[in-house]
Amino acid sequence: MLKIDATYGHATALGHLNRTFDASRVYGLKGPNGAGKSTLLQTLSGEVPPLEGTVSIDGTAPGSAEAAGSIISVADPVFLPDLTVGEHFTLLSRRTGVDFAEVHELWAIDHAILNSAVSDLSSGQRQRVYLAAQLYQPAKALLIDEPERHLDHTWTAFLAEELRHLAAEGRCIVLASHSPAIFDACDEVVEIS
């Protein structure tokens, strides 16, 4: 269970939220650009401390050693420039214990993509690779910033289905989006203004 009763922002307050995000549910954060959706996700993950108040996952501060591995934060894709896609997955598999073979099939990450440098991929392929690498790691909560970015309608619809599947496995998913298809997959949409 992810709880927040805090004022969030960087130097100045963008908003205050007092709520609980439960396991097995998908929550969408909806609002205009600049409303604080990304900052709220960063506060929930422990990347940005609240200006005042508290954030916890199962009673533990998200940035603490006790909470390590409890939250996966999915924002802008980051890749090591000298590795192929396959090498990225090999390293990630060693670190997490996840066998990504089925994930590769789900996200149409074939041998050509696995043998490619990330810099050689289209923006849509890069986003699919990044989501495939991040969404299936063991964690209680997934915090995702605009996951539909660079995906076409077909892949956005697939992502919406996968979010429901991941929530059904017991994960708490909180995401910021602008996509109606993604919001349709949410159990609840929270307006941020």
Residue-wise pLDDT for 157-190, tens only, equals 999 999 999 999 999 999 999 999 999 999 999 9
d(CA 174, CA 103): 21
Residue-wise pLDDT for 76-119, tens only, equals 888 998 899 999 999 999 999 999 999 999 999 999 999 999 99
Arithmetic mean of pLDDT, 27-52: 94
Q: Where are the domains of the chain?
A: 2-191
Handedness of CA 141, 145, 151, 153 (dihedral sign): positive
Would you say the pTM of this structure is higher than 0.85?
A: yes
Mean of the per-residue pLDDT values of the chain: 94
DSSP 19-58: EEE-TTEEEEEE--TTSSHHHHHHHHHTSS--SEEEEEET
Determine the topology of domain 2-191 in CATH.
Rossmann fold (3.40.50)
